[in-house]
A = this chain, B = another copy of it.
């Protein structure tokens, strides 16, 4: 049987330890092609590069694997992988990450890691974004690896509903403390912003974004609950943003 074709990308850049861990796991399950940003792209949301050219270069950073670094965003990487590198051959799976830091709850909408996975899902490719709840460069990705492998193998075996993707977050715990996998909904949490105001060396004022993550959603079916209770959270997500519940209440507007 032919090995499945797995596209690997991320938003922390092709040299980040997280993508190396993901490439290792993916290589045990299929033929791996890597197309990832040449520099960190965190917080890029679903940005695409439309007003400037994009560079794409083969690099030899994963032994024996086809890998390209790209000057664009994570979403650009998926588009270029599909249409230029793979010449419109569709991968059986796209995995993005492992992100250095959480993409649980509302972080999905700011996340380059998840935008790459969403771009793949738009192209009809089953896709998964993986994140570890440790922002540090030398985060330990070992404990999550067996679980990542299980999730990837399950998706390769069962496929994925059209238009869906998975948002997987891994608590920063040793392997023996992780209780297992939990299918969840996205917690209704948010960032409470604060801006640091300061003055630059030329005397000009500037602002720097910071914030606190606040979760008032006390449901025990959310990704935040799962992570706080030592589970790996799996949120099936989608790119149809229609709020179907709200449609009826808006009908009065049509007569206006």
Give the interface of A toward B (CB within 8 A). 40, 42-51, 53-56, 75-76, 79-80, 82-84, 106, 108-110, 115, 118, 122-123, 150-151, 154, 158, 160-161, 163-164, 166-167, 180-183, 185-186, 188, 190-191, 193-195, 197-198, 200, 204-209, 234-247, 249-254, 256
Bound together, the chains give a CA A250 to CA B42 distance in angstroms of 28
Bound together, the chains give a CA A161 to CA B248 distance in angstroms of 12
Q: Contact check, B236 vs A242: say whether CB atoms are below 8 A apart.
A: yes
Q: Contact check, A241 vs B241: say whether CB atoms are below 8 A apart.
A: yes
Who on chain B is nearest to A40 by CB? B51
Partner of A243, one of B42, B161, B206: B161
Q: Contact check, B209 vs A54: say whether CB atoms are below 8 A apart.
A: yes
Known: A207-B53, A236-B242, A237-B242. Is A254-B46 also a contact (CB below 8 A)? no
Sample 5 A-B pairs with CB under 8 A, ordered by A number: A43-B48, A43-B50, A49-B209, A79-B209, A154-B256
- Which residues on the B side are within 8 Å of A161 (C-beta)? 243, 245-246, 249
- Which residues on the B side are within 8 Å of A158 (C-beta)? 249, 252
Bound together, the chains give a CA A53 to CA B84 distance in angstroms of 35
Report the minimum CB–CB distance from A256 to chain B (whole Å). Answer: 4
Bound together, the chains give a CA A242 to CA B235 distance in angstroms of 7
Q: Contact check, A83 vs B193: say whether CB atoms are below 8 A apart.
A: yes
- Which residues on the B side are within 8 Å of A251 (C-beta)? 183
- Which residues on the B side are within 8 Å of A42 (C-beta)? 50-51
Report the minimum CB–CB distance from A139 to chain B (whole Å). Answer: 18
Q: Contact check, A193 vs B82: say whether CB atoms are below 8 A apart.
A: yes
- Which residues on the B side are within 8 Å of A53 (C-beta)? 198, 200, 206-208
Who on chain B is nearest to A181 by CB? B254
Bound together, the chains give a CA A197 to CA B53 distance in angstroms of 9
Who on chain B is nearest to A166 by CB? B250
Who on chain B is nearest to A239 by CB? B109
In the complex, besides A84-B207, A154-B256, 17 extra interface pairs with C-beta distance below 8 angstroms are A43-B48, A45-B47, A46-B46, A46-B110, A79-B195, A83-B193, A83-B194, A83-B195, A109-B241, A150-B256, A183-B247, A186-B240, A235-B241, A236-B246, A237-B241, A237-B242, A238-B241
